[in-house]
């Protein structure tokens, strides 16, 4: 082959590396022949979907020969009623990840800049570079967002600011006061994305509800997902809520039928199943406490988190990750986030958490 196809790609795409998800269980089984595997790599809900969501999935699967409702009318109506917003403020996505990409496509491009934090979600730099925009990365403060540093990066070229609250992969969070003070400094023409993928897990009283801020600031977009606490990661469904004119721009670049009919039905059932959300939150809270205690007993430093995961300092994380794999425990290396000495571990069932702690103790003692 004489053609250099990489040279045919746009400059931004040439600089990218594919997003690396957590290792699937069947991949580890193929590689090492293991069958007793615990996956704690992708921040999934160990309870899975609720019974109501499963029933909705079964019902929707009877009509797979038809295209889904491209407008997502029923799910939008449910979300609008739940959040006290207009349906015209809602953008549905193939996961909230899709909405983040829509933001970049609608509001970024060559000559424009996006601001986000060091150690923040990997999709922000990917979406920014893919459309030819410039990434401005603010140095983190103790692995969390430094809003003062981010504010100092704002220029007349700034078009979008991405803020993950809580942040993935570090689990750090910003308070109501911090976010309000920051938003006052941001020019009204700059879009601020509050990525709240782990919103439902947070129990701290001073944690802000981004939707309340979006009602006060027209330039704020809030993104949320059904992949985490609702247990629908395999269906890929999420949404954004913003000013109607902002949502209109996002929907103009949204692909037709970007949300499948099964996902739409499951999400509508899941978002109304508060009992499942509460049970999932309580399980996560107990699991966080369990893993914290276990790591403290092993004298392992960790970054405290309000999500459904923790980042633990293990030294040579690549080596520890591999040794944990050999014991059938899948965690997530975060070297790509500038944290080569840390592993991120998802909070699972009590037995899964203990399996991780026992395996980690064995690996560290070798």
pLDDT tens figures, 27-70: 877 877 888 899 999 999 999 999 999 999 999 999 999 999 99
Mean pLDDT of 299-318: 97
Query: What single DSSP character describes residue 206?
Result: T
pLDDT band at 260 (very low <50, low <70, confident <90, very high): very high
- Identify the CA nearest to 314 among candidates 300, 334, 327, 324: 300
Answer whether residue 267 shows pLDDT above 90: yes
Could you tell me if 203 and 306 are in contact, meaning their C-beta atoms sit under 8 angstroms apart? yes
pLDDT of residue 50: 97
Whose structure tokens read 């023409």? 189
Query: Would you call the peptide bond into 166 cis, given omega within 30 degrees of 0 as the criterion?
Result: yes
Higher pLDDT among residues 16 and 121, named by residue? 121
Average pLDDT, the chain: 95
Stretch(es) of the chain classified as CATH 3.40.640.10: 52-272
pLDDT of residue 21: 74
Q: 5-48+275-365 in CATH: which number? A: 3.90.1150.10
Mean pLDDT of 268-284: 98
Stretch(es) of the chain classified as CATH 3.90.1150.10: 5-48+275-365
46-71 in b/e form (b: 16+ CB < 10 A) is bbbbbebbeebbeebeeeeeeebbee
Query: Would you call the peptide bond into 311 cis, given omega within 30 degrees of 0 as the criterion?
Result: no
Could you tell me if 19 and 13 are in contact, meaning their C-beta atoms sit under 8 angstroms apart? no
Could you tell me if 237 and 267 are in contact, meaning their C-beta atoms sit under 8 angstroms apart? yes
Per-residue DSSP letters for 57-85? HHHHGGGTTS---TT-HHHHHHHHHHHT-
Mean pLDDT of 123-131: 96
Answer whether residue 1 shows pLDDT above 60: no
Backbone φ and ψ of 168, nearest 5°:
-115, 125
Answer whether residue 263 shows pLDDT above 70: yes
Mean pLDDT of 163-192: 97
Whose structure tokens read 């990840």? 97
Half-sphere exposure (CA, 13 Å, Cβ side) for 306? 22
Query: What single DSSP character describes residue 259?
Result: S
Answer whether residue 272 shows pLDDT above 90: yes
- Give alpha helix (H) positions in the chain: 5-8, 11-14, 25-32, 51-60, 73-83, 96-107, 123-130, 147-152, 176-185, 210-216, 244-253, 261-271, 274-297, 317-326, 350-365
pLDDT of residue 2: 79
Spell out the CATH class of 52-272.
alpha beta
Query: Would you call the peptide bond into 7 cis, given omega within 30 degrees of 0 as the criterion?
Result: no
d(CA 114, CA 108): 7
d(CA 86, CA 73): 12
């Amino acid at each position: 082959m004489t053609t250099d196809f990489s040279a045919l790609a746009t400059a931004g795409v040439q600089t990218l590396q594919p997003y690396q998800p957590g290792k699937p269980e069947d991949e580890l089984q193929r590689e090492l022949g293991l069958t007793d595997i615990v996956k704690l790599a992708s921040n999934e809900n160990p309870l899975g979907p609720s019974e109501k969501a499963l029933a909705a999935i079964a019902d929707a699967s009877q009509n797979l020969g038809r295209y889904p409702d491209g407008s997502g009318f029923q799910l939008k109506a449910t979300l609008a009623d739940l959040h006290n917003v207009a349906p015209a403020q809602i953008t549905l996505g193939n996961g909230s990840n899709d909405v983040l990409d829509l933001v970049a496509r609608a509001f970024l491009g060559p000559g424009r800049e996006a601001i986000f934090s060091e150690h923040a979600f990997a999709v922000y730099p990917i979406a920014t570079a893919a459309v030819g925009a410039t990434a401005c990365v603010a140095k983190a403060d103790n692995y969390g967002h430094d809003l003062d540093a981010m504010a100092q990066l704002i220029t007349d070229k700034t078009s979008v600011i991405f803020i993950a609250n809580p942040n993935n992969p570090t689990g750090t969070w910003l308070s109501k006061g911090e976010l309000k003070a920051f938003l006052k400094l941001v020019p009204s023409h700059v879009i601020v994305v509050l990525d709240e993928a782990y919103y439902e897990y947070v129990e701290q009283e001073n944690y802000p509800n981004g939707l309340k801020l979006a009602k006060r600031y027209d330039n704020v977009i809030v993104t949320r997902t059904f992949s985490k606490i609702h247990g629908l990661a395999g269906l890929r469904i999420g949404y954004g809520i913003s000013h109607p004119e902002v949502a209109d721009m996002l929907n103009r670049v949204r692909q037709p039928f970007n949300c499948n009919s099964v996902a739409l039905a499951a999400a509508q059932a899941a978002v109304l199943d508060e009992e499942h959300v509460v049970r999932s939150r309580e399980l996560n809270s107990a699991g966080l406490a369990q893993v914290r205690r276990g790591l403290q007993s092993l004298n392992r430093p960790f970054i405290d988190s309000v999500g459904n995961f923790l980042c633990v300092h293990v030294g040579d994380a690549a080596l520890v990750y591999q040794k944990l794999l050999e014991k059938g425990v899948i965690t997530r290396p975060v070297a790509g986030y500038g944290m080569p000495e840390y592993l991120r571990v998802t909070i699972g069932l009590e037995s899964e958490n203990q399996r991780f702690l026992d395996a980690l103790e064995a690996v560290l003692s070798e």
